[in-house]
């Protein structure tokens, strides 16, 4: 029996049982598509989370002052650690594992433009802050080193701040009164989509040179507030592979000048965004693995359906098998015939499933989706796993029914009712 005759007989069998073949193929198609889609959703969750974390900043660490929990150098526990601008300068000058650092001086003060008024937060920071905090311009310019050095009264607006204060009117170059001080708007930021922040979305804030904010809006006079007081500091790690070492270097440096034990975790409150990102990444990796296992099980159930249909086909065609053997068909011919039917069935179904799954992923990736819905990512690993699983199903679902058919004797087959 040559290949052409084998294909003709197989296609003839499929035409004779269209509905049965369609339902069997649907199980394989859905199984393959499930692997591609579910793994793609898991990868999409992880990818979208990374993009959202990138809006917070690059390899970012935020440091707040805390309260000591251990006695050190004759100093009692329970001392409050207050961060100052000198701490930021010390980290900038001494911590070689830190790429950039900036103080954050936050003031909630009234702002008045010629169109509207607001009472939004103003952030005093160094120019490097704009880069590692992912502040991207929509128009105008960023704050420069000259602005910081000369304590110029210039400000850039977050998207929400711009909408409230200038509401569709030109903002760049406009005058803005901040607590009675005349500032000039030099830039407007692009709208940020953030699912992580530590003092509120960047869209809501105004950003100005640290030197200007410290001069124009000094902190209130109250216990614990000292000269150069900061709400917090933010720094960017130079090398992500040395992230933990950089955090420890900063902790040791501040411990030296504030006289606390570097191992005292309560002396400083540190939010290590990379550590959090790695934790989330591990969670999504497990979720993706779970999705993949569920999809593989679905695919295997489709394979069981193929084997079941082939066994039914062998039983229904017992007399046909006996007749073929009686007129000279060999055991090998019968084996090839039934294995070919199973192989063609699973191969065509698998190809359709791959196309369907990849097509759905591509459509969802291109479609505008709500923020909580991930954009699926087509995973090469999922495709390879699907093909390997399909190959195993093809062999398993085809060989056993084909062997049963090939082992039948002509006499017993012709007697079958």
Split into its structural domains, the chain has a count of 2
Query: Would 259 be classed as within a structural domain?
Result: no
pLDDT at residue 70, as a whole number: 81
pLDDT exceeds 70 at position 395: yes
Question: What gap in Å lies between CA 67 and CA 265, rounded to an integer?
Answer: 9
Residues 178-188: what's their mean pLDDT? 94
Lowest mean pLDDT, pick from 98-102, 103-107, 185-189, 275-279: 275-279
Nearest to 330 by CA among 416, 408, 414, 413: 408
| Residue 65 belongs to some domain of the structure | no
Residue where the block lists tokens 């903002």: 171
pLDDT for res 303: 78
Residues 308 and 408 in one domain: yes
Domain termination site, one of 186, 212, 241: 241
- Indicate the residue among 220, 241, 262 that finishes a domain: 241
Q: What pLDDT score does 4 carry? A: 66
**The predicted structure's pLDDT at residue 75:** 75
- 398 and 300 inside one domain: yes
Q: Could you tell me if 405 and 294 lie in one domain?
A: yes
pLDDT score for 166: 93
Q: Are 15 and 111 within one domain? A: no
- 234 shares its domain with 115: yes
Asked, for residue 218, whether it belongs to a domain, the answer is yes
Asked if 21 and 135 sit in the same domain, the reply is: no
Task: List the domain range (segments joined by +) for residue 342.
Answer: 3-54+279-415
Distances (CA, A) of 285 to 42, 48, 297, 367, 401: 7, 13, 18, 24, 38
Distance, in Å, from the CA atom of 277 to the CA atom of 55, rounded to the nearest integer, reads 13
pTM over 0.85: no
Query: Per the structure block, which two tokens stand in for 31?
Result: 């199984």
Q: Which has more pLDDT, 286 or 194?
A: 286
The percent of residues above 70 in pLDDT, for the chain, comes to 80
Mean model confidence pLDDT for the chain? 82
Task: Please tell me whether residues 227 and 299 are part of one structural domain.
Answer: no
User: Are 235 and 343 in the same domain?
Assistant: no
Residue 61, pLDDT above cutoff 80: yes
> CA dihedral defined by 290, 294, 297, 299, rounded to 10 degrees?
-120
Statement to judge: residues 109 and 236 lie in one domain: yes
- Contact indicator for 40, 383 with CB cutoff of 8 Å: no
User: Residue 411 falls within a domain, yes or no?
Assistant: yes
From the CA atom positions of the chain, what is the Rg in Å?
34
Q: Residue 76 falls within a domain, yes or no? A: no
Cβ–Cβ < 8 Å for 22, 194: no
Residue 273 domain-assigned (yes or no) = no
* Domain end among 241, 268, 301: 241
**Cα separation values, 288 from 34, 78, 257, 315, Å:** 12, 45, 46, 41
Of 129, 144, 148, residue with least CA distance to 214: 148
């Amino acid at each position: 029996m040559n290949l052409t005759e084998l294909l003709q007989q197989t296609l003839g069998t499929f035409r004779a049982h269209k509905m049965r073949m369609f339902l069997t193929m649907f199980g394989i198609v859905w199984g393959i598509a499930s692997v591609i889609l579910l793994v793609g959703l898991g990868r999409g969750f992880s990818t979208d989370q990374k993009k959202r974390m990138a809006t917070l900043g690059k390899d970012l660490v935020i440091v707040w002052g805390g309260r000591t929990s251990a006695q050190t150098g004759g100093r009692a526990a329970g001392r409050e650690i207050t961060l100052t601008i000198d701490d930021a300068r010390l980290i900038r000058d001494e911590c070689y594992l830190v790429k950039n650092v900036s103080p954050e001086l936050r003031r909630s003060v009234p702002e008045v433009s010629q169109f509207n008024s607001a009472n939004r937060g103003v952030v005093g920071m160094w120019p490097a802050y704009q880069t590692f905090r992912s502040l991207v311009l929509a128009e105008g310019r960023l704050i420069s080193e000259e602005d910081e050095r000369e304590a110029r009264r210039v400000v850039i607006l977050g998207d929400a701040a711009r909408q409230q204060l200038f509401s569709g009117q030109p903002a760049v170059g406009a005058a803005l009164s901040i607590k009675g001080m005349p500032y000039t708007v030099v830039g407007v930021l692009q709208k940020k989509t953030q699912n992580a922040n530590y003092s509120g979305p960047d869209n809501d804030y105004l950003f100005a040179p640290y030197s200007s904010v410290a001069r124009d809006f000094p902190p209130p006079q109250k216990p614990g507030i000292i000269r150069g007081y900061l709400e917090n500091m933010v720094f960017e790690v130079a090398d992500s592979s040395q992230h933990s070492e950089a955090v420890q270097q900063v902790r040791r440096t501040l411990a030296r000048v504030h006289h606390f034990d570097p191992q005292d975790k309560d002396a400083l409150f540190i939010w290590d965004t990379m550590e959090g990102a790695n934790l989330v990444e591990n969670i999504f990796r497990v979720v993706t693995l779970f999705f993949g296992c569920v999809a593989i099980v679905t695919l295997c159930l489709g394979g069981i359906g193929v084997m079941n249909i082939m066994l039914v086909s062998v039983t229904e065609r017992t007399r046909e098998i006996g007749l073929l053997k009686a007129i000279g068909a060999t055991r090998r011919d019968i084996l090839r015939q039934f294995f070919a039917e199973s192989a063609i069935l699973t191969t065509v179904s698998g190809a359709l499933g791959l196309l369907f799954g990849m097509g759905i992923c591509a459509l969802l990736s291109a479609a505008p989706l709500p923020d909580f819905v991930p954009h699926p990512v087509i995973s090469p690993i999922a495709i390879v796993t699907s093909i390997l699983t399909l190959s195993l199903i093809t062999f398993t679902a085809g060989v056993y029914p084909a062997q049963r058919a090939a082992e039948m004797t002509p006499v017993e087959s012709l007697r079958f009712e």
